[in-house]
Structure 1
Amino acid sequence: MASATGAAGAAVVPFVPPGGRCLRASERNMLEGIVTAIVYGAVSAEVGLLVNERIVIDALVPNSTVAALGLKPGGRAVALIKPSFITLIDDVPGLALSARNLIGGTVVNVLTGPVEAECVLDIGEGRELTVLVTSHSARALELEAGRQILASFKASHIIVCALDG
């Protein structure tokens, strides 16, 4: 997926909808992958997206949207995840979560302000995940470069975009 860097290092990805006008997204967490499976429910489907050999993201997508986007196993898609929708947690044996997605990463950078902190995680194969937490949480988790941490987010907090071709 081609992307450019906008202000403050945010990725900007062009999107051309029907009609040919180009849209760009400011979301920093854009993870491209291959659709592995689609399991339909009454209203929404669970869409599996293989990001790399160790990460599969599960997203909840309305059935009508799955059809409108033409999502199918083997197709390419992008998961958009807002940084404030991600929770950081210590790797605790036996920890049970309701969030469907759990990704391990290494802290690359932490920018801490008086209220909020931005943490960038290396999740492997050149991919990063940006997370926003309170400054208090950043201190409590002792976030610093090199620290191993888990990122967790709900399947319903993901926007899925289909890629052509």
Structure 2
Amino acid sequence: MKLNWGTSIVIAFVLFIGFIMVMVVQMMSSAELEHDLVVESYYQKELTFQEDLNSAQNAADLEHQVTVEVVSEGVQIIFPSAFDFSEIQGEVYLYRPSDKALDFTVQLHLEDGEYVLPRSLMEAGIWKVNLKFTHQNQAYLIQKKISI
């Protein structure tokens, strides 16, 4: 049987569509490739986006910055001495991009200008730290990417 150019084009299209279908099925059924949203309540989070931007700007405008760093004990958060520690209220949200089951939130309880999240709470890998706190009715948001 002799193939003409029309039959060759149809065969090429069928092979291409078959290849694409195999790739789609493979990608959708793979347990390694989770297709989750970053946050569950995406639209609710979008409503507070401007507040988060304002809080992040407040943190950037501080004369002495709040530091978030990895130390041997875990993640250390150091507040400037200009802050009255008894007036700081807030939480630390740790987000693990690779596995949302590891995400957790910790309430800030300060006895001095330093707070340490124990390393035992976190598995090794990349984490995103979101520190939200208020001081004298002013909201602050600090976001940092760390590696444990």
Please, what TM-score do these two structures have when normalized by structure 1? 0.22
Q: Comparing both structures, which one devotes a greater share of its residues to helix?
A: 2
Larger Rg: 2
Please, what TM-score do these two structures have when normalized by structure 2? 0.23
